[in-house]
Structure 1
Amino acid sequence: MLTAAGTTSTAVAAGVPAPAAKAVAATTRTVAADGSAQYRTVQAAIDASAAGDTVSIAKGTYREVINVPTSRTGLTIKGDTGNAEDIVITYDNAAGTRKPDGTTYGTRGSATATFAANSLTVTGVTVQNTWLRSEHPDITDTQAVAVTAQGDRQIFRNDRFIGHQDTVLNWSPSATGQYRQYFRNSFISGDVDFIFGDATAVYDRVNITLRDRGAAAGGNNGYLAAPNTNSAKKYGILITGSTISSPAAANTFSLGRPWHPTADAVGQLVIRDTALPAAVRVAAPWTDFGTFPWKSARFHEYANTGPGATVNANRPQLTAAQAGEYTAAAYLSGTDGWNPVG
């Protein structure tokens, strides 16, 4: 090492190591809507946090839109009671809702919560989008996202995500990039395309509710999933070891349709080892998305049970050998061997 004068530093020349950088301790930021904590809003605590910090939220309802930027790597957001029903983050924008400048939010912009940071953990909270079609008959863009997950190595555990159309968006900022998101022991509800996107996402031991839009038996209440996985990716969305339920009439829900916004989007979705309700269209649970046929997508089932499960020509099944390649661990391991499954 050279000094300002260009001579060799005595300390280094003598073999004395330079002082080690002092580690910065992670900080917990507390939030309570009643003012009894450091911050009244979740976003204020996020803004004050550094990478690796924890935002701990007290019981209450927080009407706000939150955004965790990429700079908050390793942030933990948790409800401090351990019960997601106690901590509710809520808002009600839709894609067609107008901003003050007259433009609309669009699908991703409608999200109540956007999580962009890598290595993020969210646990013990409810995030919901309460926008209702019936209250806004003038709006035709009815997508209303509760959660946009758009980081890598993200974990969502013991949470509740509630909406109608487009509840949870699993998003890859780069269509061919590595963005993995793991949802476990959580609750998700919606009616149209409400688990969707092009990231690699695993829903493991999750309770999913198909919300009833009032269609009679054999009619159309909606679609569970709409992946638009890039064709270069082997893994898109996996639902495994889960329970899907519904109060809707029989044969009114499709398991999925392939969202095809670009030529290289070929949706990949496996539903396996999961209980399916009578609301699922037993004879043909997959459907086309516009002019893009579901048979061109990568849709499979394996070992599902319940009144909505069967095997026929319209329900492609993994073989036992293939099933070993389509597990939670396989989807999430990526290039670095990440394994949050435990």
Structure 2
Amino acid sequence: MGRRAAVLITVSVQGDADFSRLQDAVDSIAKEGGAPATIRIKPGVYEEKVTIPATAPPILLLGEDRDRTILTWSDNAHTLGADGQPLGTFRSGTLNVFAESFTAENLTIRNASGPGTGQAVAAFVDAGRAVFRRVALLGDQDTLYTGKGMQYYNDCYIEGDVDYIFGAATAVFDRCRLHNKRSRGYITAASTPEGTAFGYVFLDCEITSGEGVRDVYLGRPWRPYAHVAFIRTRMDRSVAQEGWHNWGQPDREETSRYEEYASAGPGADAKSRVPWSRQLSDEEAAAYRIIEIFGGWHPEGY
């Protein structure tokens, strides 16, 4: 039996497309065993909460312009669900991905709940293999959840304040910009499973911040075996000189793996880092190649 032809669907809030709502477009093709689908999203503000179910075929959400193609919702952990109970962190996402294969390009995904409202996820990614290219992820606390599998972020903009990249997946952030919105925050809260070679790897990224933002930690271990590596990352002065935080649990200093290599900028002073983090050697850093990190899978063309 030959391979089924790919499906192309268009979405526009102006109504000049197959669908005006993104979720309706997803629902139209989200059937187990279906053909791969591209959902082309025309510029506009899509005010809806979207779920890509586990039964969905490989889907590409393709925006035309990242700055003008915006998916936004404002649930947070305290928002009451249909059952009258708070949603909690894991049901607060604007975009929720459970499919085995998923790609998003050229759009903005925003949780507009606002600062001080608690955990409020923009993208909840619990997929087998997920790719985000030229995507902006906007939020405050817990902006991006990386639940499982292998995830690749290329040329993305990710902002937040507390634990704004968190989860257990093996994830590569390739030439991304991380933006710290407030002082005394944390960029990552990894929960890498024990025995997993790679958790979060940041390659050739940049860390920026709002005016006057200071004392932001590169990470703290959500679970004991957290692994995070910053490779050739430019860090502004918002990064705390000690770099890493133990989350008030000194025993995690023995099990967490926090690494850096050839970072630059005023926030990258290796001599000031906590002694339980480490600077990689040239030989060690050379092993941090995408194809090695992902065990043979390369997301190019995915």
CA distance in 2, matches of 1:234, 1:211: 30
1:45 counterpart letter in structure 2 = A
**1:71 aligned residue:** 55
CA RMSD of aligned residues (A): 1.7
The correspondence for 1:36, drawn from 1, 16, 20, is: 16
Matched, 1:309 2:272: no
Secondary structure, in 3 states, of the residue corresponding to 1:285? coil
Q: Is 1:291 aligned to 2:249, yes or no?
A: yes
Unaligned runs of 5+ in 2: none
Q: CA deviation at 1:23?
A: 3.8
Partner Cα distance (2:146, 2:134) in 1: 18
Which of the two has higher C-alpha Rg?
1
**Post-superposition, which runs of at least 4 consecutive aligned residues in structure 1 deviate over 4 A?**
none
How many angstroms apart in 2 are the aligned matches of 1:133 and 1:273? 30
Q: Deviations over 1:58-111 (max 9, x none)?
A: 1100011111112223211111x2x21111000001112111321111111000
Q: 2:175 aligns with which of 172, 193, 205?
A: 205
The structure richer in strand per residue is 2
Q: Output the CA distance in 2 between the equivalents of 1:53 and 1:237.
A: 29
Contact 2:4 2:35 in 1 (8 A): no
- The answer as to 2:48 corresponding to 1:48 is no
CA distance in 2 between partners of 1:280 and 1:243 (Å): 11
Superposition TM-score, scaled by structure 1 size = 0.82
Distance 1:293 1:129 in 2: 34
- Offset of residue 33 of structure 1: 0.7
Q: 2:73 aligns with which of 75, 88, 91?
A: 91
SS in 2 for 1:131: coil
* Preserved contact between residue 241 and residue 274 of structure 1 (Cα < 8 Å): yes
Return the offset for 1:251.
Answer: 3.9
What are the Cα deviations for residues 267-289 of structure 1, in whole angstroms up to 9, with x where unaligned? 0000110100101011x110122
Q: Matched residue pairs, number?
A: 293
8 A contact 1:51–1:75 mirrored in 2? no
Deviation at residue 250 of structure 1 after TM alignment: 5.9
Residue pair 1:238, 1:328 contacting (<8 A) in 2 also: no
**Aligned-residue identity in percent:** 31
Q: Which residue of 2 aligns with 1:61?
A: 45
Deviation at 1:298, TM superposition (A): 0.7
Question: Contact between 1:329 and 1:341, CA under 8 Å: does it hold in 2?
Answer: no
Contact 1:225–1:255 under 8 Å retained in 2: yes
Matches within 5 A, 1:187-336: 187-212=157-182, 215=183, 220=184, 222-249=185-212, 251-260=214-223, 265-282=224-241, 284-291=242-249, 293=251, 295-296=253-254, 297-312=256-271, 314=274, 315-332=277-294, 334=295
Q: Is the 8 Å Cα contact of residues 257 and 294 (structure 1) preserved in structure 2? A: no
Partner in structure 2 of residue 161 of structure 1: 137
3-state DSSP of counterpart to 2:265: coil
Separation of aligned partners in 2, 1:330 and 1:248: 38
Q: Distance in 2 between matches of 1:298 and 1:42?
A: 40
| Mapped partners of 1:37, 1:114: distance in 2 | 23
Structure 1 residue runs without a partner (length 5+): 1-20, 137-141, 173-178
